Structure 1
Amino acid sequence: MVTSAKFPALPARQLTDGPKPKHAQLREILEEICTTDLEPGDMLPGERVLEETFGVSRITVRRAIGDLVASGRLKRARGKGTFVAPAPLISRLHLASFSSEMSSQGLRATSDVLLSKVDTAPAEVEAFFRAGERPHPHLRRLRLGDGRPYAIDDSWYNSVHVPDLLDKDVHTSVYGILDKEYGLPVTEAEQIATAINADATTAGVLDVEPGTALLKIVRMSLSGEYPVEWCSSLYRTDRYTLKTHVERAAEQPTD
């Protein structure tokens, strides 16, 4: 066994020549270690340690690690090392708050409030709210899962219906507040998903490198006939995955 103060014990297992390549055998061992001994965010032992422990070449080690990085099980941080990647939050494109999505996947949702004020909204928000030129509650939050940054939500709320929203505890689920305190549950929404690259400010908040690809989702939410929320969210793509089910549209009869 190879141990250190930083890393778990590694099984000194001899890799054998056979139908399964050594890099595939090592990949299975490392994946087991990530599952049983390490937590998301923990560092993997260095390449030299893995070479010496399992009696393989640097090329074999890098191939095994590369496969796990490609599958999303590990992530590399330049100049720092290789770490166990967190399991991505999976959204199935149904109406659910960030908090409830996190809870359903066993993660604890929290928020850091980055901005909270009543202000003049952009033209696209005013057009959606159909409330004329008036200030609206503006809330920007860093959304965290088990203390790790997942997304930035930049949201506007219709002051016609929720003028004092920012007086509530917006560290919790705003959808829950809309439902329980205003009687305005979100009943439907239109979402638009695009990809962007993180600028320096966003990268610092989400703890990624500038230029990292992010998923941008703009959601326009209604409670019945009332437009209540316009939200632009930026998600870390290594921690958030969209999943949807599609079916072939019924063919229309022709003459």
Structure 2
Amino acid sequence: MVRTAPDPAMVQRSHQKPSLVMTTHSMLIPMVDTLLELPARTLTDGTSTPKHQQLREILEELCRTQLKPGDMLPGERALEEQYGVSRITVRRAIGDLVATGQLRRSRGKGTFVAQAPMITRLQLASFSDEMAARKIEASSKILASSWSSPSAVVHEFFGTEQGTPHTHLVRVRLGGGKPFCINDAWYNSAIAPDLLENDVYKSVYSILEQNYGASITGAEQITTAVAATPETARILGVDVGEPLLKVERHAHAGENPIEWCSSLYRTDRFALRTFITK
């Protein structure tokens, strides 16, 4: 057997230490242009602050200083190794930030910095008006539109008999091209019988006011939390089972019931603010 001497260059390369920065951080967070530097911190026992809370504060600092909404958080293993904690501690710290809306999990993809939700006061403003106030372009995708008979609940609100047709309009409302909510709305045919002949991709409230002289003057709203179904998750771009804000609105134009609408909002992009006085 003939043995050849190893290539000196190959020997030199084989003894070089691998680049930990290249394999750890640049691949962990592909959405960040520069390498992520985890805060150098030692988590300690025997203090009044539990380790999961110490780690949570580090992750909050990371989100404030180096990451922006939509960026991926380092993986659980990287956090374990960096801070010498257990997988349970890491998951609890991340879970706390998910619960407060600062992070969001995407099944099979990772954990990401959440978009700050748009906070709105309980007022009679259309989605288009809410977006315009924040200098965000509002648009719509129409999922369904028809002239048909609604459920008994809607008939009762409109004060019409079963079988009376009304306008049904289901839209995805987008802000800056991103889905914020799904509106499933019925409009009273006695007030706007040919509503669908208008450009309902835009603000329906503006159409009602300008074309039918029907300005929304009051509404009752009922807000609850629901889980995203496979269909709503697909439309809104969230995980199945993710919490959504359900807002049911019964609106009037003067004394006339005009709109019955059930909306599902992404909770990472929308929040309600209520002022309470004594």
Query: What is residue 15 of structure 1 aligned with on the other side?
Result: 41
Residue 229 of structure 2 is aligned to residue 206 of structure 1: no
Specify the alignment match of 1:127 in structure 2.
156
Aligned counterparts of 1:175 and 1:216: Cα–Cα separation in 2: 20
Across the aligned residues of Structure 1 and Structure 2, the Cα RMSD in angstroms comes to 2.9
Question: Counterparts of 2:263 and 2:171 in 1: how far apart (Å)?
Answer: 10
Contact 1:48-1:58 at 8 Å conserved across structures:
no
Is 1:221 the counterpart of 2:251? The answer is yes
Q: Does 2:108 align with 1:79?
A: yes
Task: Give unpaired runs (5+ residues) of structure 2.
Answer: 1-20
* Match in the other structure for 1:116: 145
SS at match of 2:183: strand
Alpha-carbon shift at residue 189 of structure 1 (Å)? 0.6
Match of residue 57, structure 1, among 85, 99, 103: 85
* CA distance 1:69–1:211, shift in 2 (3 Å): closer
Q: Percent identity?
A: 53
* 1:144 counterpart = 2:174: yes
TM-fit CA distance, 1:128: 2.1
Equivalent of residue 3 in structure 1, options 11, 23, 26: 26
Report the 3-state secondary structure (helix = DSSP H, G, I; strand = E; otherwise coil) of the residue aligned with 1:208: coil
Q: Which residue of 2 aligns with 1:94?
A: 123
The answer (yes or no) to whether the contact 2:149–2:166 under 8 Å persists in 1 is yes
Aligned to 2:104, what secondary structure does the other structure show? strand
Give the letter for the 2:237 counterpart: D
One of 214, 218, 239 as aligned partner of 1:184? 214
Distance in 2 (alpha carbons) for counterparts of 1:25 and 1:7: 26
Change over 3 Å in CA distance of 1:161–1:57 after alignment to 2:
same
Indicate the SS of the match to 1:124: helix
The residue that corresponds to 1:104 in the other structure is 133
Structure 2 length as normaliser, TM-score? 0.75
How far apart are the structure 1 equivalents of 2:146 and 2:113? Answer: 38
SS in 1 for 2:185: strand
Please say if residues 143 and 170 of structure 2, whose CA atoms lie closer than 8 Å, have aligned partners that are also in contact: yes
Say how many residue pairs are matched. 247
Q: Deviations over 1:143-179 (max 9, x none)?
A: 2233333321111111222122112221221112222
Letter in 2 for 1:143: R
Match of 1:251 in 2: none
- Which of 46, 49, 57 is 2:75 aligned to? 46
User: Structure 1 residues 228, 12: CA separation in 2 closer, same or farther (over 3 Å shift)?
Assistant: closer
Provide the rounded CA distance (Å) in 1 between the counterparts of 2:224 and 2:142. Answer: 24
**Residue 188 of structure 2: aligned partner:** 158
* Contiguous gaps of at least 5 residues in structure 1: 249-255
CA contact (8 A) 1:214 1:235 kept: yes
- 1:103 deviation in Å? 3.6
